[in-house]
Amino acid sequence: MSFEDLNLNPSIIKAIQDAGYTTPTPIQKQAIPELLAGHDIMASAQTGTGKTAAFMLPALHLLATPAKTPGRGPRVLVLTPTRELALQVSEAALKYGKYLPRTKVVSILGGMPYPLQNKLLSQPVDILVATPGRLIDHIQRGRIDFKRLEMLVLDEADRMLDMGFIDDVETIAAATPATRQTLLFSATLDGAIDKVAAKLLKSPKRIQVASQKARLDNIEQRLHYVDDMSHKNRLLNHVLRDEALKQAIVFTATKRDADTLADNLYAQGYAAAALHGDMNQRERTRTLTKLRSGGLRVLVATDVAARGIDIADITHVINFDLPKFAEDYVHRIGRTGRAGAAGVAVSFASNRDSAHLTKIERYTGQRIASHIIPGLEPRIKQRPQSSGFNGAPSVAQKRKRTPLAQNGRQNFSAPHEFKGNSNNDNGNNRRGRPFDQENRGNSFRTNSNPKAGYQSARPK
């Protein structure tokens, strides 16, 4: 099947050709015909599968036809959990819609000044991309007219659920016409997501794309056992010296660790910088622009901040700290191996992390092979080959994996400190999330001094 077979507007096809796409990805093949036929869909597809184009191309196709209702408000609304994802969706709208006349795309994101947003919303809008909290503010102030709205997209609905935004999402949906077409994208379509879909979608078509395993097939996963922070830093240094490494994202458990490690790497001469939710939007955009333009080789990031980053030159993802949730492991390593390229994902683990590792491996269905660097061998005893993982999960394991009390994700049980700072990535503090993912303490510390192993920071 080619893009031409999908019966999309010729201006959209032309933009797709400019983007260099030759064939639709599986999610695009399945979703686009259903969407053009006017159906609601709920699709399990993560970043990296081409899901953005799967909804943006039909959305633009819709915009190429005259609006059914007169007005100036948005005809398409995309809700995303994070600002970074919202910006990428807006960029995709501009990229695929560049040959369509007068397609106005507006992003309304938390943490950005209100006056500019008020101005943008006072003008005609076709596609509105927003994070839920800030959008609610504008709705409550009567600044958005949803009379014309024809399509509502919930992107990464599972993450919006996890972040405590689902009430906001439902309030927003209630402000839009019941005649709208609704699309829900989520990493998993579990019980909690089903409930949301039952409330907001009408007889949705369910679309499931390739398994977790297939999606990770182009990423080589390596495990390094570490004795302590100093050993971990030496191993990191070794990995970063790899000539095959063009750009890397190093994940830490906390914002403070991201800053400290970025400073440390910068002091060692690496073109490194941090990205996390404590930085203001300008700083974050500047850092991402630098990463995109190749001005940065190493980005040290937290989970929420790095979600959705899509840069072809990211050859390596390094889990300096293992993620708390197995699902985040998949999101993290999916930052490499973009659009079919090969990638390397390196994880550091202490021997206390066996349970974490087993959960990750059960979730992905893949074993992470342990590697030893000559001269940097770990002293600690490594987990035996049969650490409870036998390839594909058993039925019992699968059953155990289904929705957990709060959000249906694999929550590792290792202890972690909670520092109580409620900053989050969406500028949605007032609404609050059940927890702040970036402030969850590092569940792996082999050293009683949390800063041990880091060198002095560069002056701020």
CA atoms of 369 and 69, how far apart (whole Å): 57
Site string for ligand AMP, 229-248 (x = CB under 6 A): --------------------
Site string for ligand AMP, 46-85 (x = CB under 6 A): -xxxxxxx--------------------------------
Residue 174: in which H helix or E strand, if any?
helix 166-174
Looking at 41-49, 233-241, 317-325, 342-350, which segment touches ligand AMP (CB under 6 A)? 41-49
Show the tokens assigned to 58: 């039909």
Least CB distance to ligand AMP at residue 59 (A) = 13
For the segment 323-352, give every residue that binds ligand AMP (CB under 6 A).
Answer: 338-339
Looking at 24-32, 205-213, 233-241, 378-386, which segment touches ligand AMP (CB under 6 A)? 24-32
Contact 123, 87 (CB under 8 A): no
Give the count of residues interacting with ligand AMP (CB under 6 A). Answer: 14
What is the torsion angle, in degrees rounded to the nearest 10, for the CA atoms of residue 318, residue 414, residue 257 and residue 428?
100
CA atoms of 428 and 431, how far apart (whole Å): 6
With residues binned 3-state (H G I as helix, E B as strand, rest as coil), the percentages for the chain, rounded to 5, are 40, 15, 45
Residue 188: half-sphere exposure toward Cβ, Cα within 13 Å: 21
Least CB distance to ligand AMP at residue 19 (A) = 6
Q: Please identify which residue in 84, 190, 310, 353 interacts with ligand AMP, judged by CB under 6 A.
A: 310
Tokens 């490594």 found at: 382
Residue with Cβ nearer ligand AMP (331 or 356) = 331
The maximal CA–CA distance of the chain, rounded, in angstroms, is 70
Q: Please identify which residue in 11, 25, 186, 347 interacts with ligand AMP, judged by CB under 6 A.
A: 25
Residue 47: in which H helix or E strand, if any?
none
Distances (CA, A) of 223 to 122, 258, 403, 456: 52, 20, 28, 28
Residue with Cβ nearer ligand AMP (58 or 453) = 58
Least CB distance to ligand AMP at residue 47 (A) = 4
Return all residues near 324 (Cβ < 8 A) that are at least 6 apart.
253, 411, 412, 416, 437, 440, 443
Residue with Cβ nearer ligand AMP (49 or 439) = 49
Site string for ligand AMP, 257-296 (x = CB under 6 A): ----------------------------------------
Least CB distance to ligand AMP at residue 319 (A) = 20
Looking at 45-53, 63-71, 113-121, 318-326, which segment touches ligand AMP (CB under 6 A)? 45-53
Residues that bind ligand AMP (CB under 6 A): 21, 24-25, 28, 47-53, 310, 338-339
